[in-house]
Amino acid sequence: MASLAAQATETPAQPSLQQDGRYRNQAQLPRDGVLKKLRIGFKFLFLSKPADTRPTLPIPLHPLSQAQVLAAPDRSLWRLGHSTVLLKLRDRFFITDPVFAERASPVQWAGPQRFHQPPLALEQLPPITAVILSHDHYDHLDERAVLALAERTEVFLAPLGVGDTLVGWGVPAAKVRQLDWWQATEVAGIQFVATPAQHFSGRGLFDSNRTLWASWVVLDEDLRLFFSGDTGYFEGFRQIGERYGPFDVTLMETGAYNVNWPNVHMQPEQSLQAHLDLRGRWLLPIHNGTFDLSTHAWHEPFDRIMALAANARVPLSTPQMGERVSLVQPQRGTAWWLPLEQQQAQAGVLATRQR
């Protein structure tokens, strides 16, 4: 494992770029002005969305308790919602982008509201060895959850600048490690590498790109995981795959896409291609199923990525929220977002395609 950390430091790689105090993507992207942000924000907060952006029936959940996750086998994974994933590695727990708020918003009286409650309550989380943060947007960085976890977490891993936000909220500075792209750190014998993503940052109208955004590589001996955070499709996936692939499981953004922001969120076709660029084996789609952050049907990301993966013969894992996934031998899961009769029909179609 030490050689991998050395590779991340010694092999030439492009760190993040700054201009006038703001971070930039590897590729120059169109810059959205304040007026465009206001228009998009007004539309999402105050104008009606299509009815199918939210489920009409309760989403099936697997309720969890702390005792259950403590007793679970090592190398387990649970989706708790959106991009919040609980990992059990070396009998320790790690969590990505922990968001437990009712709304992905700067205020809790307006903004995108959860479709479901977390299957494991914030108070029921086990002691956390590391919180892994991708960027500072409200659907990925929940101040209340961070502060609740501060005493029970050994380390917060964050892109540059995001750690300053945590310290400003009251997280002890000694617990915060801030990384640039391609920098690596070790926690409990596991290597974590902050890798590039194509996105943006900011929690207000005037702080755009003052903090960095990142994807993450997790290296636990023979197990290799990739967590995309939020990102558009870009050349960086191939670079990450060449340096750290192949990956056993990729946790890949698949949802909240829109023609109005093609450079910072991927369409499902691009999510699949990114997985292939990374040389991933199992694809587990995230960034879906919890908040209505775009205008597509809430189930559309699942429908599209399932069909695409089947055609490409890519193993796809679609666990229900709270359902345990073995990282040693992931299960495909069911089309749980469909009515039962459609699930059965879909299973028959997929079985035919996979022969």
**Cα–Cα distance measured from residue 355 to residue 345, given in angstroms and rounded to the nearest whole number:** 16
Q: State pLDDT tens for residues 270-318.
A: 999 999 999 999 999 999 999 999 999 999 999 999 999 999 999 999 9
The CATH homologous superfamily to which domain 2-16+34-353 belongs is: Ribonuclease Z/Hydroxyacylglutathione hydrolase-like (3.60.15.10)
CA distance to 39, 206, 257, 276, 311, per residue, from 27 (Å) = 25, 22, 19, 20, 30
Q: Enumerate residues 6+ apart whose C-beta is below 8 A from 140.
A: 82, 83, 97, 99, 133, 134, 229, 230
pLDDT of 28-43, one tens digit each? 887 765 455 555 555 6
* Residue predicted with more confidence, 68 or 354: 68
Q: How far is residue 80 CA from its own chain's centroid?
A: 11
What burial letters (b/e) apply to 58-97, b meaning 16+ CB within 10 Å?
A: ebebeebeeeebeebeebbbbbbbbbbbbbbbeebbbbbb
Where in the chain are the domains?
A: 2-16+34-353
Residue 347's nearest CA partner among 326, 330, 333 is 333
Residue length of the chain: 355
Q: Which of 42-46, 66-70, 167-171, 319-323 has the lowest mean pLDDT?
A: 42-46
What span, in angstroms and rounded, lies between the C-alpha atoms of 333 and 310?
13
User: 282: closest CA among 320, 240, 327, 323?
Assistant: 327
pTM above 0.95, yes or no: no
Phi-psi region of 307 (alpha: psi -120 to 50; beta: other; left: phi over 0): alpha
What are the C-alpha distances in Å from 351 to residues 308, 315, 332, 344?
Answer: 14, 12, 12, 11
Q: Is the pLDDT of residue 5 over 50?
A: no
What is the model's pLDDT at position 203? 95
Question: CA angle, 264 as apex, 292 and 209 as ends, to 5°?
Answer: 105
